[in-house]
């Protein structure tokens, strides 16, 4: 069947990017003449996503204006946070509007060009609560590392420090929506810290390793890199 519905987290403040892009939500930072979110949507559609739920907060009007031009009204819904709910709270609120058993959840300021059918098929075969997309990286200190068991189940999350090599969380998740909505979690929480890292030993969580193009525009130097690379990879 494949995953047809995606939740895109697009409420980020972009504080570290403010020197390069003042007065805009992070996902709306212009890259090669278009908001970065345009490329995320385009990528999702190329992988078979038909329906979007945008989790919005900070300066949501700017994103709404863009979406009215980018998509037809039947292709998307908005999930607007009255106050910041964290990545977990944002995903959970959007999940209440979703209709599919399995949804894709991803960030509007990161592009990780995974093959969605590979993620989806591991998620289904493993009967997982959540399946993470993992990117192999060399010589980095911006990210923590995810360690897997032989069958692809999450063995551990390692803290952020310098690594010669390792698997990082690429921020795209296949999520069992019904199971996630049953979790007892606070109104405001971090998807990564309070759900993944706290519950991986008690839930069925797996990792799909895909060595595909990855960029996170959260810091000015990677935002500049996106300007040079984005045309060539889409």
CATH number assigned to the domain comprising residue 118: 3.90.550.10
Contacts of 222 (CB under 8 A, 6+ apart): 215, 216
**Do 5 and 51 contact (CB within 8 A), yes or no?**
yes
Give the pLDDT mean for 56-78.
94
Tell me: pLDDT of 194 over 80: yes
- In the chain, count H helices and then E strands: 7, 13
Structural domains of the chain, count: 1
Give the pLDDT mean for 47-74.
94
How many other CB atoms are there within 10 angstroms of residue 70's CB atom? 17
Write down the pTM of the prediction. 0.95
Give the pLDDT mean for 93-109.
97
Give the pLDDT mean for 67-88.
95
Residue 54 pLDDT level (bands cut at 50, 70, 90): very high
Domain that holds residue 33: 5-233
């Amino acid at each position: 069947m494949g995953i047809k519905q995606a939740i895109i987290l697009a409420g980020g403040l972009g504080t570290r990017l403010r020197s390069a892009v003042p007065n805009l939500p992070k996902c709306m930072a212009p890259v090669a003449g278009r908001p970065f979110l345009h490329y995320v949507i385009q990528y999702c559609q190329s992988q078979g996503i038909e329906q979007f739920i945008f989790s919005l907060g900070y300066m949501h009007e700017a994103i709404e204006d863009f979406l009215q031009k980018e998509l037809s009204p039947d292709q998307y819904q908005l999930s607007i946070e009255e106050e910041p709910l964290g990545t977990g709270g944002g995903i959970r609120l959007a999940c209440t509007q979703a209709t599919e058993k399995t949804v894709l959840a991803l960030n509007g300021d990161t592009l990780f060009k995974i093959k969605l059918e590979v993620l989806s098929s591991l998620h289904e075969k493993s009967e997982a609560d959540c399946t993470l997309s993992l990117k192999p990286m060399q010589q980095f200190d911006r990210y923590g590392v995810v360690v897997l068991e032989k069958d692809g189940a999450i063995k551990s999350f390692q803290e952020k420090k310098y690594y010669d090599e390792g698997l990082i969380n690429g921020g795209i998740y296949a999520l069992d929506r019904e199971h996630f909505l049953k979790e007892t979690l606070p109104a405001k929480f971090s998807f990564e810290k309070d759900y993944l890292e706290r519950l991986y030993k008690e839930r069925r969580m797996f990792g799909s390793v895909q060595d595909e193009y990855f960029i996170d525009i959260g810091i000015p130097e990677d935002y500049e890199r996106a300007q040079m690379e984005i045309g060539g990879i889409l």
